Structure 1
Amino acid sequence: MLSFLWVGTCLCMDTIEFNLVMADTENSSSDESLDVTSEKFNPIKALYSSSSIIPVPSAQTYDNITKYEAAIKGVIIKHHNKSKDVSNKEKSVKQHILLHQDSNAEEKNQRDLKNYRNVLSRMGNSLGPLQVLYNCMETKLRIKVFTRSARGIRGFIEAYVAAFDKHWNLALEDCTETWTRKIKRKAPALGAPIKLDDIIEEEDVPKVIVKETNGKTETLMRHVSQMLLRGEQIAIIVVIH
């Protein structure tokens, strides 16, 4: 392999020396091949000949044909600074991202305001059993809500519906509550009980009335002006016609 490279190098050097000798030893009839304005101009011979004459020694040199054509046509080629281009591109990308984020945030805010829904707006769009509850609220029909305890039905509440949500949490007005509980037979451990009237004014606490007593249990009743009932405490709701 090295022998082939050496032979190729020798051949190239011999060719260059041969061209130089031929360019310098040719007669005057071959000078036309060195004349740039002649039709017989030979550029290869002009490159290797030492007697080649440059027509305009003070002519400006150009790196490539593109620059030469631009100079002939009078076009000015601007040299771009790559670092500035990169920084400007990064700035434009950041500005585009910020504008896109701002526009998305504005559209989202407008969409949220347009589709804003709360408990009051959701009640009007209720379907199924919740729609019946909404009709009772609009027409001022009393309902009877049966509440549950740990072991069964605790009692019931008759009231007007003021508001509700999809979890069956109810805001009630003019409530009459009736429930059953065990009779406490044990004496208080801390002595005689203190009257509630001595601690809290009478109008602040709903009065509890013992409606019925049956052995170990008693049925109580009270009236409350407003009540918030959690959905997990509701067993069934009945409309009172």
Structure 2
Amino acid sequence: MHLSKGQGITTFLVGHVTKSGELAGPRILEHLVDTVLEFEGDKQHGFRLLRSVKNRFGSTDEIAIFQMKENGLDEVPNPSQAFLEERMKEIAGSAIVPGLEGARSFLLEIQALVTSTAFPNPSRRCAGLDANRLGLLLAVLDKRCGYRLHQCDVFVALAGGLKIVEPAIDLGILLAVASSFMNRAIPSDCIVLGEVGLGGEVRGVSRVETRLKEAVHMGFKKCILPKKNLKGLSNKKMELVGVELVDEAIRHLLS
């Protein structure tokens, strides 16, 4: 490291992360280098994300998305289009959410499948999402909205093999689950946005304008979002519907 900095030589150190998601090895390595980059993705899918965890000379809000092809990695210029390319419209259990990674927003599809079970301990499985957060949200849907999910197996996945942990997609997860439970499809031109509290309330989220701009660019016409975020927000190209409760959002889209 002294040689690299003393001679002005650009050096890449390649390591791995532990099961907890932290960089393996002594912590001093992170303090020595100028930039720490994480390269992640599901080996069963072609998409790869390159994100900055530390950047001594710039912002850590940048993210790059690549796709594995025959000749190697190619940049994905329009992630939303790539992630929704195989989406089936007007199908129960599907919801579109505008995710945010760093300074970049892109649309993602959340898929849910709810089936009845004869076993005393129903299954709760998810892919690409926080399992603990999913359990919390399902408890809210059961207790606050009256859906008897304790008698059902629930499977939720983020299509495309990506992983995202963001409270702003909470409402999208619950609406996808409710859609599968009721076997009613969410309108294909609608996106869903909002954090959900334990009382069943829909809380405000950040960077709403950035998310809506991406949705309009992809041709979506309607957005269900927290009522709090409607203040000072104007978008003539999209119908904005503010909600305060999860049950209110379900009635609006699935009744």
> More strand per residue: 1 or 2?
2
TM-score (structure 1 length as normaliser): 0.18
Q: Highest CA radius of gyration, 1 or 2?
A: 1
TM-score by length of 2: 0.18
